[in-house]
């Protein structure tokens, strides 16, 4: 039976880390794996598919990254993989691929042993594994990878749906979310020039209690620059709070500008934060509002590794 060694797994992981270190904002897992596959020469075993479907290469790397996550070296969020400071340190210090992977496995074993359901004296499968089949037999890791892949696919569909939404429908979605969060929306901009403000809202129904909330909504691919943020802040009064929502996110300079403001209060909301708020307040949305972005929960076995 063909096998993948710890050294080979470590080689793949170290190259993956090099790719992610060069992308401080993180990369979609599928994109990172695609780049990795182009940088290494896959063995026939790695390039082959499992009987259950899926190329071995992707499964090998995904299963190995579970160790890295529990080691505190790698973060995964909605399919985005990014390296932590601890991961950068480990990558710089552990140059030998086998030592790199063995250290991740050791930290995973320590995490596993600290869990309430851990059994003393049981070595983790990841640490003892010499083949992919051995790793796949680890139910905890299998559940983790299955959940991860489902989350990636779900987020890809949701983000594509939101980015493709009609701009005015997207604006109405934001207004519905504010209502679900107990704000009172008094005005939503009709098609045409809006003077830099798309939505007005208040904490109370009569609009007598400050602050007034001014919202700008941008459904666009590119990130909002600091100049774009300053244009919005120019329409904010001393007692106003600004919400700037953009599907393309914000540049680092814009984020710093918003965070260090002393005279203008403004909150930046990107696509992921917007979705998290929609999900959090979903039960408080009206039926009509839910139809703008309908969600359905699916039960998964909770990942244990």
Tell me: the pLDDT tens digits for 266-287?
A: 999 999 999 999 999 999 999 9
- Measured in degrees and rounded to the nearest 5, phi and psi for residue 200 equal -115, 135
Query: What is the per-residue pLDDT across 52-65, written as a single tens digit (0 to 9) for each?
Result: 667 889 989 998 99
Which CATH number fits the domain that encloses residue 253?
3.40.1350.10
Residues 128 and 179 in one domain: no
Question: Is 301 a domain residue?
Answer: no
Q: Which of 126, 142, 160 is the last residue of a domain?
A: 160
pLDDT average, residue stretch 141-145: 74
- Considering the domain boundaries, does residue 256 fall inside one? yes
**149 and 187 within one domain:** no
Q: Are residues 136 and 44 in the same domain?
A: yes
| Rg (the chain; Cα; Å) | 23
22 lies in the same domain as 38: yes
Element (H, E) at 250: none
130 and 192 housed in the same domain: no
Least confidently predicted of 62-66, 124-128, 202-206 = 124-128
Considering the domain architecture, whether residues 179 and 286 belong to the same structural domain is answered as: yes
Assess whether 127 and 191 both reside in one domain: no
pLDDT at 140 over 90: no
CA distance 291 to 182: 19
Position 300 in a domain? no
Whether residues 12 and 156 share a domain: the answer is yes
Read off the pLDDT of each residue in 221-244 and give the average, rounded to a whole number: 94
Shared domain for 175 and 150, answered yes or no, is: no
Structure confidence by residue, pLDDT tens digits, 5-18 = 999 999 999 999 99
Instruction: Name the β-bridge partners of 28.
Output: 80
Task: Tell me if 42 is assigned to some domain.
Answer: yes
Report H helices in the chain: 6-21, 29-39, 44-47, 56-70, 85-93, 97-113, 125-128, 132-136, 139-164, 167-180, 226-233, 252-259, 271-280, 287-290
In a domain, 297, yes or no: no
Domain boundary among 119, 134, 160: 160
> Domain range spanning residue 130?
6-160
299 inside domain = no
Residues 107 and 142 in one domain: yes
Domain count along the chain = 2
Do the domain assignments include residue 274? yes
- Region 182-192 average pLDDT: 92
Cis before residue 211, ω within 30 degrees of 0? Answer: yes
- The whole-number pLDDT of residue 89 equals 97
Does 42 lie in the same domain as 181? no
Together in a domain, 176 and 282: yes
Overall average pLDDT of the 116-123 stretch: 50
Containing 116, the helix (H) or strand (E) segment is none
Domain boundary residue among 111, 133, 160? 160
Helix (H, G, I), strand (E, B) or coil at 177: helix
**Burial of 116 per CB tally in 10 Å (0-12, 13-18, 19+):** exposed
143 pLDDT band, cuts 50/70/90, is confident
* Tens of pLDDT, residues 235-268: 999 889 999 999 999 999 999 999 998 888 999 9
Q: Does residue 296 lie within any of the structural domains? A: no
pLDDT confidence of residue 149? 81
Query: For the chain, what percent of residues have pLDDT higher than 70?
Result: 88
């Amino acid at each position: 039976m063909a096998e993948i060694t710890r050294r080979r797994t470590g080689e793949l992981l170290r190259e993956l880390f090099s790719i992610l270190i060069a992308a401080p904002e993180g990369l979609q897992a599928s994109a990172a794996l695609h780049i990795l596959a182009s940088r290494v020469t896959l063995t026939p075993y790695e390039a082959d598919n499992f009987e259950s479907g899926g190329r071995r290469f992707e499964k090998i790397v995904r299963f190995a990254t579970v160790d890295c996550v529990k080691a505190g070296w790698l973060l995964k969020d909605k399919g985005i993989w990014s390296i932590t400071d601890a991961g950068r340190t480990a990558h710089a210090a552990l140059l030998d691929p086998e030592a790199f992977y063995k250290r991740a496995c050791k930290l995973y074993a320590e995490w596993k042993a600290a869990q309430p359901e851990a059994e003393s004296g049981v070595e983790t499968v990841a640490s003892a594994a010499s083949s992919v089949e051995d790793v796949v037999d680890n139910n905890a890791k299998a559940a983790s990878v299955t959940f991860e892949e489902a989350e990636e696919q779900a987020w890809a569909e949701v983000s594509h749906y939101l980015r493709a939404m009609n701009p005015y429908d997207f604006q109405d979605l934001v207004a519905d979310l504010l209502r679900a969060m107990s704000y009172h929306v008094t005005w939503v901009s009709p098609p045409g020039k809006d003077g830099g403000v798309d939505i007005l809202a208040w904490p109370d129904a009569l609009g007598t209690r400050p602050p007034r909330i001014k919202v700008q909504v941008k459904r666009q691919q590119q990130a909002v620059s600091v100049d774009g943020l300053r244009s919005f802040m120019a329409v904010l009064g001393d007692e106003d709070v600004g919400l700037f929502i953009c599907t393309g996110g914000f540049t680092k300079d814009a984020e710093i500008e918003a965070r260090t403001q002393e005279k203008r209060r403004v909150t930046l909301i990107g696509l992921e934060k917007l979705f998290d708020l929609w999900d959090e307040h979903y039960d408080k949305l009206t039926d009509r509002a839910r139809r703008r972005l309908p969600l359905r929960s699916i039960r998964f076995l909770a990942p244990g590794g």
